[in-house]
Amino acid sequence: MDRRDFLRAAGSGALAAILQAVAGGWAKAAEAGFAGLPFARDPLPGACLLPLGDVQATLAAMLDTVVPGPATDPEGTAGALEACSMNILLDGSFPFRQYADLFAMALDGIAAEAHGGTFVELAYPQRLDVLMTAQEQLPMLRLAFKAVRSAFFGGAYNGVGLRYVGYPGPNLGWRHVPEASFRVAVCRERTDTGWMP
């Protein structure tokens, strides 16, 4: 097995384990009767965990590539880190941490081979390239990236992503807003009942 194969296998195994563990965490939460939810408490703005150490710096760079924040986005707007996505990775009650080393190692391996540096050393376009390669080699990575995106755009930990896209959030109903519906028939219907015979 050459280094690339090793990294592939290590990355694949790690991600499998991570996602398994995440799913396991959900299942455990179900069984714990909701008392021990594995998710971080909703933090106040500014309470996102910060990366400490090399491995965490790699993970942070990964998050900042999937949904770039002020460090990468020339517009200076919030990204995955500001949406507290790091909390998912570092929360002690969330079973991800133990695989973080392997995950970072896989990214560094691809980064070194393709661009001659560690993942954090790379510029944004190269980091993006590494993640694209990584997800081609390990299709389950897509699911991890999906989780990061939905944490940001879904307001999983705080509302920065929701505000970013202009999502108005909780409301008392839009029914009286003129734009909420065309209110008149806009298409011919095939059935009288709503369902086919």
C-beta closer to other proteins: residue 3 or 146: 146
| Contact range with other proteins by CB under 8 A, out of 12-20, 46-54, 95-103, 104-112 | 12-20
Q: Report in angstroms how near the CB of residue 131 gets to other proteins at its nearest.
A: 7
Residue 17 contacts other proteins per CB under 8 A: no
Q: Which of residues 9, 16, 52, 71 is near other proteins by CB under 8 A?
A: 16
C-beta closer to other proteins: residue 2 or 188: 188
C-beta closer to other proteins: residue 2 or 31: 31
Q: Report in angstroms how near the CB of residue 104 gets to other proteins at its nearest.
A: 18
Q: Kindly give, in sequence order, each residue whose CB lies less than 8 Å from that of residue 56, ignoring residues fewer than 6 positions away.
A: 86, 89, 90, 100
Q: Report in angstroms how near the CB of residue 32 gets to other proteins at its nearest.
A: 8
Q: Report in angstroms how near the CB of residue 5 gets to other proteins at its nearest.
A: 19
Helix axis angle, 3-31 to 141-153, nearest 10°:
50
Q: 91 to 130, contacts with other proteins by CB under 8 A?
A: 124, 128
Return the HEC string of the chain. Answer: CCHHHHHHHHHHHHHHHHHHHHHHHHHHHHHCCCCCCCCCCCCCCCCCCCCCCHHHHHHHHHHHHHCCCCCCCCCCCCCCCCCCHHHHHHCCCCCCHHHHHHHHHHHHHHHHHHHCCCHHHCCHHHHHHHHHHHHHHCCCHHHHHHHHHHHHHCCCCCCHHHHHHCCCCCCCCCCCCHHHCCCCCCCCCCCCCCCCC
Q: 130 to 189, contacts with other proteins by CB under 8 A?
A: 131-132, 139-140, 142-143, 145-146, 149-157, 161-162, 164-175, 177, 179-189
Residue 44 contacts other proteins per CB under 8 A: no
C-beta closer to other proteins: residue 50 or 188: 188
